[in-house]
Amino acid sequence: MIKREFLKRQLEELGRDLEKVIASIQNLKEQGKFIEGIDMVQNSLGSIFDLSIEKVLSMLPDNFPERLLKEKKLTPVHLSYLGDILFAASELYDDEGETEKVKLLHNKILSVFNYINETEKTFSSSRNNKIEIIKRTWN
């Protein structure tokens, strides 16, 4: 029971930290600071998930969530946070006209969010809104 409470607190703390990171990325985006925003994404991906944006872009979307769960020992909660960071990164790339990177990221984000929707019992309106934004972008 103590271990479960500890893990719960750890995930809650991670969530708060990532919300701050995403808010900072959004703030940099609004200020037009693309390079600083991507640097923040890179740092977050590296320190939290042991990933790089290049690695994420090169991975196939089909088994993306399963591969991360297995190789990086992520939980569905981690996947959700990863999806949020990748969504923020896609917005930065979109502002810079990097359409191919946006499309690659959107494919990964959809893969992650669809996996979570299929495997988890929790509903997230934020997650579903992001899915709808991505679908509207490419339809």
Query: Within a domain: residue 46?
Result: yes
Q: Render pLDDT for 89-130 as a digit per residue (tens, 0 to 9).
A: 999 999 999 999 999 999 999 999 999 999 988 888 999 999
Contact indicator for 32, 91 with CB cutoff of 8 Å: no
Query: Within a domain: residue 69?
Result: yes
Query: Within a domain: residue 61?
Result: yes
**Gap between the terminal Cα atoms of the chain:** 47
* 18 φ/ψ angles, rounded to the nearest 5 degrees: -70, -35
Query: Within a domain: residue 123?
Result: yes
Q: Render pLDDT for 11-33 as a digit per residue (tens, 0 to 9).
A: 677 667 778 888 888 898 899 99
Contact indicator for 108, 59 with CB cutoff of 8 Å: yes
Q: Residue 123 has what pLDDT?
A: 84
Query: Within a domain: residue 78?
Result: yes
Q: How many domains does the chain have?
A: 1
Query: Within a domain: residue 130?
Result: yes
Structural domain boundaries, residue 102: 28-138
Query: Within a domain: residue 8?
Result: no
H helix runs in the chain, sequence order: 2-30, 34-49, 53-58, 64-71, 76-95, 99-119, 125-138
Between residues 99 and 7, the one the model is more confident about: 99
